[in-house]
Every structure is written in structure tokens, then in C-alpha cells.
Amino acid sequence: MSATADQPADKTYAPLELFDTNRLLDDDERDIAATVREFVDTRLKPNVGDWFESATLPRELGREFGRLGLLGMHLQGYGCAGTNAVSYGLACLELEAGDTGFRSFVSVQGSLSMFSIYRYGSEEQKQQWLPRLATGEAIGCFGLTEPDFGSNPAGMRTRARRDGAGDNADWILHGTKMWITNGNLADVATVWAQTDDGVRGFLVPTDTPGFTANVIHRKLSLRASITSELVLDNVRLPASAQLPGAIGLGAPLSCLNEARFGIVFGALGAARDALETTIAYTQSREVFDRPLSCFQLTQEKLANMTVELGKGMLLAIHLGRIKDAEGVRPEQVSLGKLNNVREALAIARECRTLLGGSGITLEYSPLRHANNLESVLTYEGTSEMHLLSIGKALTGQAAFR
């Protein structure tokens, strides 16, 4: 029965209100989420359509993110906010509700560039770079993936060799990195290379002779994000450029695990925004003289998407609490990324169907989110690799080797 003047409409709830997930957060976590959401709503969302269409991301956003304390916010000291993992995750969620490009910027800056220095750098390297990266005065990127080596980074062809004898001999780096977020914006690149002693990490100032960043154009996804190819043509670095604590492939993989954790939350932001946008649309769009939201098939879609969004949020908060306690294991992060990105993509696609023809324009967010999530499904470990990571944890067998 529809509402009348004598019978007011039932109270409505936002999707995550049905799960009462705010009850699981403390005051500081709720405040951080609210602050970032307001920034996204007032500063980023009004402009994201233009940035997505023109395939640009203003460099000055780095300083704005820095002023909010978002860059390296889960790190301690060096000008970083020192928040817990859940707060960082919630910030990622709110940023990705605006666009995946915003969360990617903050994730690469904090969980890849800054974390690699924080975990594996010398004190001199930390003092030189972390305070500037935390404010957004400097921008960092992370060079691991290569044109022929994504899921199998151990096969990387980028090489670093010593030029001379002794511990103070220079390093010479030669190779190519691909699909590097922030590459053309960066002041410093963390570059991973094969050496005679295995994989090692190096801090490469981007004004070093022989270093070139080339923007990747004609993207159908992550258009409000700068993606680059990095070319290292016999780049000469001093011995002090090496990250002293980064020994073996486990070092860059640990950085990726930090970034993947942010994605567990971030993907839900895209899904939430797509779903909230679609609910509002169905309530105002009339079909056969009734709001689209009145039809059973519409409500079935909205209900199913809400269930998956809420389940993903509960999983994300649970993994965040584990990370803040004893530490989350890589296969647990794989569970979160696999499920939440997969479901977020399905939600964004389904939302587009409810928008009809309007859904293919930049006036509405679901298809933009879906296009972006196609990239998220692939980067920081493809869904196939996360499936195999979970399979290895279950069976003890590494099926990808």
C-alpha cells in the first residue's frame, strides 16, 4: 500500500545504517570518516567528472591531502598522523566514494612510497623524505610492476649493478616499470631491481639523469589518476640510495600488503556511492506512472546489493581490528581484497542497469566506479592470484609456481 496524507511513508535508511556499522567504530574513527567524507563531497565530487573526462589529476591535491593528515596517516612520527588501521581504512573508503583515483593517490603515497621508506629506509632517508611526503610537498611512486612481469615480480628484468668496488660504490639502474600510479607527478620513486644479491630497493629522485616518466594515455579506467611508464636508462645513484633494510622480494610484497589493506575498505566506498546514487535515482525516476523504486525487481536488486555491501564492511572492520591487534596475515588481506573488490564491481554494474540510459553519462557515478574497479580487480594482485593465495593457505600447495 502506498503512503497517503494520513499514512506517512516508512522511515528509510542508508544501506550501511541497516547494519549499524557505526556502532563498531570509536569516536575518533567516526570523526575521521566524517571529515574525509565532507572533503570529498565539497572539494572532490564537484570536479571529478571533469578530471575523469580530461584524464587529469591536479598535483596540488597532494598538499590538500597532506593538510588533512591523510598521507602516511597510519605511520608513526616524521609528521605522520599515527592513526590506527581502521581509521586509515575508513579514510580510503571515503576517498574512493569520490573516485578510485583519489584513494589510489593516497594509497600509493602512504602505503607504498612512504611505507617502503618507513620500514626499510635508513634514518637519513626517512628524515629526508617522510616529512615532505606527509605534507604533500613531495610526491612518491612505487616501481615494481614491469611490462612483462606483474603477477610474477620475481622475474623482473630491471637490473642494478655496482660501478666500482667497496660498499660506497655507485649503483647503475637500467630497466622499465609499467602501470605506475603518480609516476609523472612524483619527486621520488621507490624502484625495485635485481642485483647480484637478489632483489633490492632504491630511492630514485625523478630529476636524476636517465630517469624518464611517460604518461599512459587512452585509458578507459582510472582516468582521474596519473598512470605512467618509468624508464631507467643507466641511472647512476650513490650507495646511499639503496634501502638498507630491503632484502629480497619479501620487502616489496610487504608494501603491497599494506596497500591491499586500504583497498579492502576503499572498494566499498565506490560501491556505497554507486548504491546511494542509485537509490536516490530510483525514488525520483517515474516508470509507468510510479517511482522506479516501487517495483519488486528494483527492490530485489537494491536489497541484494545492500546485503553484499554490509557483509563487505563487516569483513573490512574485522580485518582492521586484527591488523591493529596482532597483525593481519597476507592471506587474510587476500580474502578481503578478493571479496570486496569483486562485490563492489558487481554492485556498480548492477546500479548502472537501474539508471538506464542515464547511467552511461558522467552525471551519475556507477559506471565510472565500475570502470575504475576493473583496474582495482587487477592491480595489487589480480583476483586469480588472491584466489591462489587463499588456496595455498588452505592446502599448503602453491599452485601458481
CA 214, 246, 138, 264 torsion: positive or negative?
positive
Is-contact 140 109, C-beta < 8 A?
yes
CA 128, 132, 137, 138 torsion: positive or negative?
positive
123 three-class SS? helix
The x, y and z cell numbers of residue 297, run together, are 525487481
Query: Which residue type does 73 have?
Result: M
Q: Could you give the CA distance from residue 72 to residue 81 in angstroms, rounded to a whole number? A: 7
Determine what percent of the chain falls in helix, strand and coil, rounding each to the nearest 5: 55, 15, 30
Beta strands 286-287 and 290-291: pairing type? antiparallel
Q: Going by C-beta distance under 8 Å and a sequence separation of 6 or more, which residues neighbour residue 283?
A: 291, 292, 293
- 542508508: which residue's cell? 14
Count Cβ atoms within 10 A of the Cβ of residue 312 and give its class: 0-12 exposed, 13-18 middle, 19 or more buried.
buried
Active site residues: 380
Is-contact 74 88, C-beta < 8 A?
yes
Strand locations in 283-325 (E)? 286-287, 290-291
Is-contact 266 92, C-beta < 8 A?
yes
The x, y and z cell numbers of residue 170, run together, are 655507485
H runs (alpha helix) in 137-293: 250-284
Q: Going by C-beta distance under 8 Å and a sequence separation of 6 or more, which residues neighbour residue 325?
A: none
Query: What are the φ/ψ torsions at residue 301 (nearest 5 degrees)?
Result: -60, -45
Is-contact 310 21, C-beta < 8 A?
yes
